[in-house]
């Protein structure tokens, strides 16, 4: 029996997302969600300019007398690099925070050093305990879910909040933006902020306790969200990834690394090999669909790009050899991991599961509103 297949008539998302829904015109739910998010959360032109000006003024006031007035995350990628450029342009005094998880490409490291030196921005690098993190990555591979990248994402966000707390800096500026980071199916990856899920996978499939890994419990996440201002500055300008890359290359000597989040060797291998070959998920679809909806690429050009392999065969072979060696996996062990039955986030304990229980939900709800009330009271007293 032939499996049902459909692809969106507007973007390139298809039924490899098991939860995708199409309307009578063949347009998928991701495109409608994108349009709604653009309408509600993206403010370019004069309205965006006013929001940024107001934010910059507030950040400078709150940072008066301190060494820095904001925190920025940097990875060496285009979005975070452009954030550094903008923050410098607006006259803020940022501390750049980078998470070193052991997988930075040489080009990403050079991009960060070159960019920050030219902009005069100081860098703080949070280096993960490699043996601990290696074991966590192996645990996620053995868990056989498509979520093996979320430990890094969780650590990045946690390290930004932790540094902001240490330095008592209210404002964190990040490169996340709706225009280029939409069309993300939950089935392809979820649990980024769910520490119970991450720690559960580690307990079940790992061998090393997570003693040093930067993380947030559910209540810590609530506290951080109310205590600090998380500002996605690229949602308030007429942001074009292509134009940003050209500017960075011309003015700062920044160099492109070849793909979405490919500044990380593990990400390049995971998204280019493991996800498509084991799970049937091609992350290029999400990225290309975002660019189609933002008008940066045509649908036909995106379809042509999808006909190519995720990345060159020689590079894939070299990456595989490097990843297996670094993770201390043999070919047979890796093949066994690839052949494990596919599982999902819902197969493991998580906050999401627990929070559905009425009593726990009420406890979290009360805690959230209590913390929110305390933070509002502090701000009122200052005013």
Domain borders along the chain are 43-347, 353-382
DSSP symbols for 295-360 = TSS-HHHHHHHHTS-SS-HHHHHHHHHHHHHHHT--HHHHHHHHHSPP--GGGS--HHHHHTSHHH
Residue 36 phi, psi dihedral angles, 5° rounding: -65, -40
Cβ–Cβ < 8 Å for 167, 68: yes
* DSSP code for 7: B
For 314-323, write each residue's pLDDT tens digit.
999 999 999 9
Mean pLDDT (the chain) is 90
pLDDT at 375 over 80: no
DSSP symbols for 171-189 = EEEE---TTTS----GGGS
Dmax (CA) of the chain: 69
pLDDT on residue 381: 41
Give how far the C-alpha of residue 133 lies from the chain's centroid of Cα atoms, to the nearest Å: 18
Cβ–Cβ < 8 Å for 9, 299: no
Selection from 108, 94, 150, 102 nearest residue 128 by Cα: 102
* DSSP code for 228: S
3-state secondary structure of 372: helix
Q: Span 99-106, mean pLDDT?
A: 92
For 47-85, write each residue's pLDDT tens digit.
999 999 999 999 999 999 999 999 999 998 899 999 999
Q: In which band, very low, low, confident or very high, does the pLDDT at 262 lie, cut at 50, 70 and 90?
A: low
Q: In which band, very low, low, confident or very high, does the pLDDT at 355 lie, cut at 50, 70 and 90?
A: confident
Q: In which band, very low, low, confident or very high, does the pLDDT at 107 lie, cut at 50, 70 and 90?
A: confident
Element (H, E) at 196: helix 195-205
Q: In which band, very low, low, confident or very high, does the pLDDT at 310 lie, cut at 50, 70 and 90?
A: confident
pLDDT at 345 over 90: yes
CATH of region 43-347, choose from 3.20.20.70, 3.30.420.40, 3.30.70.60, 3.40.50.620: 3.40.50.620
* DSSP code for 280: -
Residue entry with tokens 């290029």: 284
Q: Which two tokens stand for residue 262?
A: 């490919």
Least confident of 32-41, 193-202, 235-244, 353-362: 353-362
The angle at the Cα of 125, spanning 119 to 128, to the nearest 5 degrees, equals 155
Q: Span 94-98, mean pLDDT?
A: 97
Q: Which two tokens stand for residue 23?
A: 């309307």
Between CA 171 and CA 227 the distance in angstroms is: 9
pLDDT on residue 255: 83
Q: Which two tokens stand for residue 187?
A: 């089935």
pLDDT at 383 over 50: no
Between CA 137 and CA 135 the distance in angstroms is: 5
pLDDT on residue 358: 53
For 200-210, write each residue's pLDDT tens digit.
999 999 999 99
Between the two ends of the chain, the Cα-to-Cα distance in Å is: 67
């Amino acid at each position: 029996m032939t499996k049902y297949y459909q692809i969106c008539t507007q973007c390139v998302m298809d039924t490899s997302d098991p939860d995708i829904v199409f309307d009578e015109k063949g347009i998928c739910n991701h495109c409608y969600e994108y349009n709604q998010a653009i309408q509600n959360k993206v403010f370019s032109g004069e309205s965006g300019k006013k929001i940024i000006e107001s934010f910059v003024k507030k950040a400078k006031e709150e940072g008066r007398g301190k060494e820095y007035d904001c925190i920025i995350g940097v990875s060496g990628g285009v979005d975070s690099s452009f954030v550094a450029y903008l923050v410098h342009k607006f006259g803020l005094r940022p501390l750049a925070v980078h998470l070193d998880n052991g997988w930075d490409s040489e080009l990403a490291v050079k991009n960060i050093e070159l960019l920050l030196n030219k902009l005069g921005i100081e860098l703080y690098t949070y280096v993960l305990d490699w043996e601990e993190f290696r074991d966590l990555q192996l645990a996620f591979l053995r868990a056989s879910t498509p979520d093996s990248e979320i430990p890094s994402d969780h650590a990045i966000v946690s390290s930004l909040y932790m540094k902001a707390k240490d330095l008592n800096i209210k404002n964190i500026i990040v490169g996340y933006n709706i225009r280029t980071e939409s069309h993300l199916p939950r089935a392809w990856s979820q649990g980024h902020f769910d520490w119970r899920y991450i720690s559960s996978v580690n307990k079940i499939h790992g061998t090393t306790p997570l003693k040093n890994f930067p993380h947030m419990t559910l209540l810590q996440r609530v506290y951080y969200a109310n205590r600090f201002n998380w500002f996605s500055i690229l949602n308030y300008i007429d942001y074009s990834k292509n134009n940003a890359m050209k500017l960075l290359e011309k003015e700062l000597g920044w160099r492109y690394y070849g793909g979405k989040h490919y500044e990380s060797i593990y990400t390049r291998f995971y998204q280019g090999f493991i996800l498509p070959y084991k799970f049937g998920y091609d992350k290029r679809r999400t990225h290309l669909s975002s660019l189609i909806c933002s008008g940066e690429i045509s649908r036909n050009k995106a379809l042509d790009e999808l006909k190519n392999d995720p990345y060159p065969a020689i590079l894939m072979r070299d990456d595989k050899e490097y990843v297996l060696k670094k993770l201390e996996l043999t070919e047979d062990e890796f093949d066994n991991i690839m052949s494990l039955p596919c599982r999902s986030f819902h197969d493991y304990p998580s906050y999401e599961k627990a929070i559905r229980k009425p009593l726990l939900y009420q406890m979290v709800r009360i805690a959230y509103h209590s913390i929110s009330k305390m933070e509002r009271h502090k701000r009122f007293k200052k005013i």
